[in-house]
Amino acid sequence: MKTSDFDYYLPAECIAQTPVEPRHASRLLVLRRDHTELEHTTFWNIGDYLNPGDLLVINQTRVIPARLFARKETGGRVEILLLRKEDDCLWEALVGGKRIAPGRRLQVEGGPAAEVIAVLNGSRRLIKFGESIEPYLEKIGEMPLPPYIHKPLKDRERYQTVYAKESGSAAAPTAGLHFTPELMGHLQAKGIRFATVTLHVGLDTFAPVTEEDPRQHIIHTEWCEMPAETAEQVNETSRNSGRVVAVGTTSARVLETAAQAAEPGQRVGVFAGPTALYILPGYIFRAVDALVTNFHLPRSTLIMMVSAFAGRERILETYQIAIREGYRFYSFGDAMLIL
């Protein structure tokens, strides 16, 4: 297995720069793993491919406006991108600027003073704020849009799912961006159920794998939770021969992490904590029957995960068809349903 096995060429014009309105009007490409034909429809019609008793597992994480600006004592401007909260005042962050060494004091624009505590790998730093930064974020923070999106976002809620609840992500679980309250109500009226998990997405999600052998890559760790209520819904769905449909790779990662905590006779167990689960081709899925997902970056751990679910050659072939058919890629792009 080589990282180059998961590479493909994407014309720049295929990268969606703005979201579709309404959300459920995005396109949907349906891939059945036991059929060779693909189907093309809109996301509103996803219920045509689901059955009463199926369970859609959604990630209720909420993106924090995590991009801040600060000034060094010398006056130089520094960009801070919050990644993970260690405690009320201590955060792991990406810091853009020169000579950001331990002991460097910073003044957040519109917020508290801060100090660099430690240098981590690359531009990552541990930063200690003089007081909790969270009360300031809605006023002074900017949404951390992925680097391939170059147009400003007019409405920051458009980079949140409609069911986002638990703050903590540096990026949105983008497969869920296609759902609207109207569509969710429409699906529930058909007997299709929803269950929630939480996984706080890190920016490493967008990082390409640089090692020649992807098995040498160190996967990013993210905090996730499979609550008892959702675990019971998943296990009940399985007992009743319904399908567990992961909405996004983040939900799939929670489900498969929780599968490792399952008791005999269960699909999943209750779990809360960090997950470093790395899913590559050859992985046997234990909890996920179907997957809703967007189109992913080449050489990323996410395209490797969907390749594990549907087959590498099948995924790359489908991506080429999607490019030819004018599908929109990445965070604000269209969706796939893999059955």
Strands 77-85 and 67-72: antiparallel
pLDDT digits (tens, 9 = 90+) for 199-230: 999 877 667 899 999 999 988 889 999 999 99
Could you tell me the domains of the chain? 3-63+154-338 (3.40.1780.10), 67-140 (2.40.10.240)
Beta carbons of 24 and 180 less than 8 angstroms apart: yes
3-state secondary structure 178-195: HCCHHHHHHHHHCCCEEE
Instruction: Report CA-CA distances (Å) from 265 to 45, 57, 228, 287.
Output: 34, 20, 16, 12
pLDDT digits (tens, 9 = 90+) for 252-291: 999 999 999 999 999 999 999 999 999 999 999 999 999 9
Q: What DSSP state is assigned to residue 263?
A: P
pLDDT digits (tens, 9 = 90+) for 310-324: 999 999 999 999 999
Residue 106 has pLDDT above 80, yes or no: yes
For residues 154, 250, 224 and 121, what is the CA-based torsion angle, rounded to 10 degrees? -80
Alpha carbons 242 and 231: distance in angstroms, whole number:
14
C-alpha torsion sign, points 25, 195, 221, 275: negative
Q: What DSSP state is assigned to residue 67?
A: E
Query: What was the pLDDT predicted at 121?
Result: 79
Share of the chain above pLDDT 70, in %: 99
Interval 10-32 mean pLDDT: 97
DSSP-based three-state secondary structure for 158: helix
pLDDT digits (tens, 9 = 90+) for 51-83: 999 999 999 999 999 999 999 988 899 999 998
Q: What is the pTM of this model?
A: 0.93
Q: Which of 50, 35, 26, 81 is nearest to 206 (CA)?
A: 81
